[in-house]
Structures are given as structure tokens and as C-alpha cells.
A and B are shown apart, each in its own frame.
Chain A
Amino acid sequence: MAAATKKILLVDDNLFLLGTLALAFANDGFKVLKASSAEEALALLEHEKPEIILSDYEMPGMNGFAFRKQLLENTATKNIPFIFLTAYNDNTLVMKGLDELLAVDFIDKETPVPVIIAKMDNLLATVREKQALSLEELKRAAEAINIKSVPIKKPIVTGFNVEFWHLPYHGYPGGDFIDFIRVSNRYTCAVLGDVMGKKWTAWFFTFSFLSYIRAAVRFCVSSGEYDPAVILQKTNQVVCEDEALTDVLAGLSLILIDEQTGHVAYAGAGDLPLLYYNAAGKTLTPIKTCGLLLGLFNDASYDAASITLHKDDQILVFSDGIIEYTEGDKHTSDYALFKNNVYPLLQQNTGFAPIRDYLSQTITGASQADDCSIISIIKK
């Protein structure tokens, strides 16, 4: 895997030193952000997230300690490794910075620039290694208790070819999830969800939601309920009434596949409209239902759409990451563009493979803005 760009924020009122350090770090492959005061750095940090900050201590206006204190009070910046660059060798000052203000290190301004860069490189390597280990531990814990965001293999549904593709954002587990529930000899339920608020702990929320949804679906079906809108309604009530899930919201698509009739019933909660490809007419149509995000309002109502699939007809259900495009540093969401891009691939009538290949080629590394998940249902 290619090394990710290293991004550093340099803060120093000495413009000559700032320029010299910036050039040296840039030559070493860093993307460099510069600020000539703590105030300027704070403004910059509102829309930039460096991996590491190297800051002077004595600056006019806000000094390095006050700057560090402000960073520690902000959840978005408190965990960015912070190093003081200072001409001071006062041990009391150094201890305050290291103990109270959780600075990672102090570097004397007399230190040769190549040594400063080597220190930053080593520190970043350690931070990244620690993050990778934490991620690995999370994945291992998930595997150990046999729960996953997505199934291991595609489901077997008589008369249909059901497949999926999922790419987690930067390898972090959680966020989107896919599930297939065989509810009887006749029905299979396909579920695609997106827990909003991608963060380190989203992994846990994902499985909470998945458990609720699985339980709600199975409960409804066992009591003779085959309407996905009612299933969503009951799931939403469970989510809304559970205090542990306050502030957790999720988009959800629920598709009940009837093997006997070829009917597909769909209900959505704050999800993107699914795409229905009619092979005979070569038409591609968005199908939308009215449901709001799960967890939003206890009394929210949900409706369902029914589609009868014929040979080679195809349905695509997908999360918002699939329709996000990146150009340079800019992201856009474009449902219509995705629809236009997959239309010629659907016309080939060669199954899910062309769409999976297209997504694998276009959504990679830095171009990925979110979790990406898609389910394809084709009538044989």
C-alpha cells in the first residue's frame, strides 16, 4: 500500500524559520500547513486536520501554552499529536507542557532541521502503527464474537441472483451494514443500513442496529407480517424508545423478496431511492418511498413499493457513499450521475460483475469519501 500523505501544521511567528521548516518538510514529502500565530492556526484548524502540530512556545498574542489549552478543549483537535519547538530550556516549563498540556515532546530550536524532520517522521510512524493496531484489534474482536458488518458470502435465493459489494471507509469497521435474512422457504429479506455519524465507535452502533433490525424482522414475520413498511415502523419505535440509542440515526433500505411470485416489496427510511432496471423496456427508474431516518420521530410513518421482477430485471440498492465523487480535494454527491454511469452497464445484461468492476475501479483510496455499499437483485 502506498504511504499516505503526511500533513503537518507549523506554527511560528518567526517567518524566516517558518519558511525554512516548511520548505524542508515539503521536500521530505509532507503536506505543510503554516500559521504565523496561534490565532491563525486555530482559524486554519476549523477546516484542516493535520496529523501533527509543531508549534513555537513564545509568540505575540496567544502563546504556545494557551494555544495548546484551546486545542485540548476541542474534541476535533485534542488528539492531534502536539510538539513544542522552543528556545527555552526551563525544565519547569517543559514539565508543565508534557504533564499538564499533554505535549508529546519539546524540541530545542537549535536542533538541526534534518533531525527535527526525522523526529516528526518517527513520531508519525508510531502514531500510525498504533492506529493500525487498534483497528486490527477491533476487527479481531468482531471476528471473535462472529459478527460482521456484511455477510461472508452472497445469499442463495431461488429464482434470483443476489449479490453485494462493500468498501468500508479507509478500512474502518462500522457505518454501513448489509444483512440477508432467510425468513421462510418463500421469503428472503435484504437489508442495507447506514448508521450516521462515522466515528470510531460507529462499529458498536452498527451491530446494535443490526440486532434490532434482525429481531424486528423476525418478530414481524413470525406473526405473519410481510409488509416491509410495518417492519420498519416497528423497528423505528424500538430504536426511538431505547434511551441507549438517543442521538443515533440510521438510513435503512429493506427489501422482501418473494421467490414464489417474483415480487419484491421495498420500504426505505431516509435512504436513497433504489434503482429498478426493466430489461425488456431498457428503462432505469428510481423507486422512492416516504420513510424518514430511523431514530428520528417515534410516530414516523413508512410506506412500501411493490415491484414485480421479470427475467433479467435488476434492482440496485445503495448507500450514499456510492454516489459521492471526488475531484481534487472537492467532493460532490450526484445520484443522477451514478444512474447515468450504471445505465449502459445494466444494458449489457451480464449480471452484477460490470457494476462491481466499475465501482472497484472508480472508488479507491483518497477518492473514497464514505462507506460504500450496494446490493444487486437480478431475476433469473
Chain B
Amino acid sequence: MILETKTLGNILAATITQPEANLTNAEQFKHEMLTLINEGNLRIALNFAQVSYIDSSFLGAMVSSLKYALGKGGEIYLTDLKKDITELLRLIRMDKVFKVYDSINNVPAA
């Protein structure tokens, strides 16, 4: 498992436990995300506190998971991003695709 999950109210907090989110764990990440969504978790906050690097394969897996969640009326939030990753997401406009928050505490309750 590369996601550690914890339910906080109506949001599932999912922490990515890998320092590098890349080709080697992208497929596993997507599999775990789709499982969580299929289990009925429609509001997932992905915590990136432990992630220092992200490549395009992992970004692709994130976006695929988001499309899947949106199709089921769900939403995926990104939280606790390091500065470098925030900047990369901003450069390629992923900040317009995902809702980004400093921490899960800032994610709207509903």
C-alpha cells in the first residue's frame, strides 16, 4: 500500500507514503485510488507532505483518478504540497484541475 488512509468527517484523508511519486508506483497508486472511490469514498484529500518529487506518469495517474471520481460525482483535493511541487503543478495548470489546499483543515466541510 502506498496510501495511508484516515476518515475525517465526510472526507477521506489519504497520505502518499513515498518520497518520490513516479513511474514505479503510479499504477499502484491509481489502483488504490480507484479502489477507495469504488468503496464509496467520494471526497478524498491527498496528502503530499512526504512527497518531494512527482513525475508525469504519476501526474497521469492522479488525473485519471480525478476523472474517475468526477464521473461518480466525487472530488479529489490536494493538500500539504511542498513548494517545488506546488510550482510544477502551477506551471502546467494542474492547479486549475485539482482543488489545492494548504492542509486538510482548509478543505470545505461540504
Contact = CB atoms under 8 A, between A and B. Distances in A.
A330 B64 contact: no
Interface residues of B, number: 36
In the A-B complex, list the 5 residue pairs whose CB atoms are closest, starting with the nearest: A196-B60, A197-B60, A331-B53, A196-B56, A333-B88
A369 B57 CA distance: 11
Contact of B84 (A46, A273, A293, A332): A332
B91 A335 contact: yes
Nearest to B70: A297
Contacts of A74: 28
Contact of A333 (B17, B53, B64, B93): B53
B97 A292 contact: yes
Interface of A: 46-47, 49, 74-76, 194, 196-199, 247, 249, 251, 270-273, 288, 290-293, 296, 320, 324, 330-336, 369-370
B64 to A, nearest CB: 5
B28 A46 contact: yes
Given A46-B18, A76-B24, A247 B53 contact: no
Given A46-B25, A76-B24, A76-B25, A330 B92 contact: no
Given A47-B25, A293-B93, 4 more contacts: A46-B17, A197-B26, A293-B92, A296-B63
B91 A272 contact: yes
Nearest to A42: B1
Interface string B1-24: 110000000000000011110111
A370 B67 contact: no
B96 A292 contact: yes
Nearest to A331: B53
A199 B22 CA distance: 12
Contacts of A332: 52-53, 84
B67 A296 contact: yes
Interface in B56-101: 56-57, 59-61, 63-64, 67, 84-85, 87-88, 91-94, 96-97
A296 B84 contact: no
A332 B1 CA distance: 24
A249 B28 contact: no
A370 B56 contact: yes
B55 interface: yes
30 contacts: A47-B2, A75-B27, A76-B25, A194-B56, A196-B56, A247-B64, A249-B60, A249-B64, A251-B56, A251-B92, A288-B91, A290-B93, A290-B96, A292-B96, A292-B97, A296-B67, A320-B88, A330-B53, A331-B53, A331-B55, A333-B54, A333-B85, A334-B84, A335-B87, A335-B88, A335-B91, A336-B87, A369-B22, A369-B55, A370-B56
Contacts of B96: 290, 292
Contacts of B20: 47, 330-331
Q: Give the interface centre of A194, A197, A251, A272 by most chain B CB atoms within 10 Å.
A: A197
